Chains A and B, each alone.
Chain A
Amino acid sequence: MNLLEIKDLTQLFSGICAVSELNLEIGHRQLVGLIGPNGAGKTTVFNLVSGFYKPTRGEIIFEGRNLAGLKPHQVSALGITRTFQNIRLWKEMSVLDNILVAQHFQLGYGLGNLFFRTSRYLERESEMRCQALELLEIFKIREYADETPGNLPYGMQRKVEIVRALSSGPKLLLLDEPAAGLQSADVNELIELIKWIFEQFDISIWMIEHQMKVVMTLCSHISVIDFGRLIAQGTPDEIQNNHEVIKAYLGDDNV
């Protein structure tokens, strides 16, 4: 059984067809890419998978379970988390709190426990805190635990957002243009980071990326969409030499 199966996925926005009859599969322990020109519908696919939009048609099956009707918070509890094209950290909250809030699906205490500060509540709070700090330690950003994200350099914010998405122990991590806005030195660092995450965690990663260097070095399999349609898929080599892809990126005249 595949980890994620997308069947005939279609999303219409008042007339425009942002995603059209998309069929895709992602297996366990895979690092795969989704590319396409601007406005091709890539982010929309992620928004559909994370439950943010209800698909006009089609199905999204995660670990054999149809995600139809689930709210985003339920989808993330099942094990799909993501980052955003433009970083969406909570800017006025410390880095540590950013990680903690992402544990909402596994708080393990109710309001009664909270208001009476029962031992269950105190245990869970300190457990979650320790785990979050450990994670920050692993990613060597423990020193920023009390910093607000707004005070961190852009590249670091990207990293914190990735760590936040990883903190809930997802099975599928969606990265929407993780290299966007990064300097080339930072891009190299990001490539290493994603590689490292993929090796260390039992996880599949699906990334959208415009920087070919990033996708081509990291991904074992790439899907290309244009105007919401899947136009090609295959290994990086196959994609680089695919006519449809070159046409989509460079326009008809250049072929």
Chain B
Amino acid sequence: MKRLSVPVLLLVLFAVLMGLAWFEVIDVYLQTILLFMGINVIISSSLNLVNGNMGEFSCGHAGFIAVGAYVSSVLSVALFTKSRVFGAPLLPPEWAAFGFPVILIIGGLAAALTGLLVAIPSFRTRDDYLAIITIAANYIIITTIINIDKIGGARGFMGMRRVIFAMEDFAGIPWMILWVFIFMVLTLVIIRRYMSSTYGKGVEAIRQDEVAAEIMSVNTNRVKLITFMLSSGLAGIAGGLYAHAVGYVNPKSFDLLKSTEALVMVYLGGMGSLTGSILSAVLFTLLLELLRPLQIIKWVAIPLLLIIIMQFRPEGIMGHRELSDIFPKLKKFYKFK
């Protein structure tokens, strides 16, 4: 029962969410909020890997989200829909239902590769350059997108709605809820497996004492590169999901503001805590919705929130602890690996 409790719980949650959406108990607006929650869980937990577990300071997470969003959007629109830019679909549109996860993963791989390009120069020099280099990379990525007219430039890129319609033609289920849920769970499993392995504990060792890690046989440079690639790859998948959930992307949605959102989630939830990443992603998504009427003023409120957290609870809600560290008795009932 200990081994089954988490899968069963997830299945029940999945069935409930799918059911609610399928029978239209919750409207499109609420569904979108749920989708954002799932996507934000991926964003915050993947950034937490670098900033929390590894103790580096990456500030341009949105750049990698953008790469994943654009690569997967362009691919899915070109492959499965008739569009002005790419002409007739290259593959039968009904294949979208199965092609979509593959495309998401390709978007993630593209983001991971971009991550590698960013990480190599940053970790070669001093680690504190990572902050500056990631900010620069975020800008470069957005500027590049703006300058590629074929994918809409500053106007943005759309057509992903039609990919969802193609999937719905194949089977009338709430596809996006399905994919976001699956990829969110996958992300959590991947991070959990990574960090609970001896390999992943090398990441913690790097945060706590990098010199000792290197001297005790941890290939610190390699571990840092791989962790950074994993983090940016997962961000890319979040980007692909976001693009298809909204049906439209625009370079502006991936600027430093978006990167700041990701940072706020990490620091709100707690450094290096998966439980914290989930909790803060859910809270933060709700908060953003509540603050939506404030429009631009929310960008006074959110940094303020960040400052308040840093003042009164610098380790975040969870702070390097998981649910099972706070309630050790729970360990009897579940195992998540």
Contacts and interface: CB of A to CB of B under 8 A. Distances in A.
Most buried by A among B190, B201, B212: B212
B337 A117 contact: yes
Interface string A65-77: 0000001110011
B194 interface: yes
B216 A164 contact: yes
Interface residues of B, number: 27
Contacts of A50: 215
Interface in A100-129: 100-105, 107, 109, 111, 114-115, 117, 121, 125, 128
B211 A107 contact: no
8 contacts: A73-B217, A91-B208, A101-B205, A101-B213, A103-B217, A104-B198, A114-B200, A125-B198
CB-CB nearest 8 A-B residue pairs:
A105-B217, A88-B212, A90-B208, A76-B217, A102-B216, A104-B218, A72-B214, A104-B217
A246 B127 CA distance: 45
B94 interface: no
B331 interface: no
A101 B201 contact: yes
B283 to A, nearest CB: 26
Contact of A52 (B190, B194, B215, B226): B215
A84 B217 CA distance: 15
B193 A84 contact: no
A18 B272 CA distance: 40
Given A100-B198, A115-B190, A92 B216 contact: no
Contact of B217 (A52, A88, A92, A102): A102
A146 to B, nearest CB: 12
Interface in A21-57: 50, 52
A114 B194 contact: yes
Given A77-B217, A164-B216, A93 B198 contact: no
A90 B226 contact: no
Interface of A: 50, 52, 71-73, 76-77, 81-82, 84, 88-93, 97, 100-105, 107, 109, 111, 114-115, 117, 121, 125, 128, 164-165, 168
Contacts of A101: 198, 201-202, 204-205, 213, 216, 218
B199 A93 contact: no
Contacts of A115: 190, 193-194
Q: Which secondary structure characterizes the binding site on chain B?
A: helix
B219 interface: yes
Contacts of B289: none
Interface of B: 190, 193-194, 197-202, 204-205, 208-209, 211-221, 226, 320, 337
Contacts of B201: 93, 97, 100-101
A237 to B, nearest CB: 34
A73 B219 contact: yes
Nearest to A81: B216
Contacts of A103: 198, 217
Contacts of A93: 201, 204-205, 208
B209 A111 contact: no
B212 A104 contact: no
A121 to B, nearest CB: 8
Contacts of A107: 198-199
Nearest to B220: A73
Given A82-B215, A90-B208, 8 more contacts: A73-B216, A73-B218, A90-B213, A92-B204, A93-B204, A101-B213, A105-B217, A117-B337
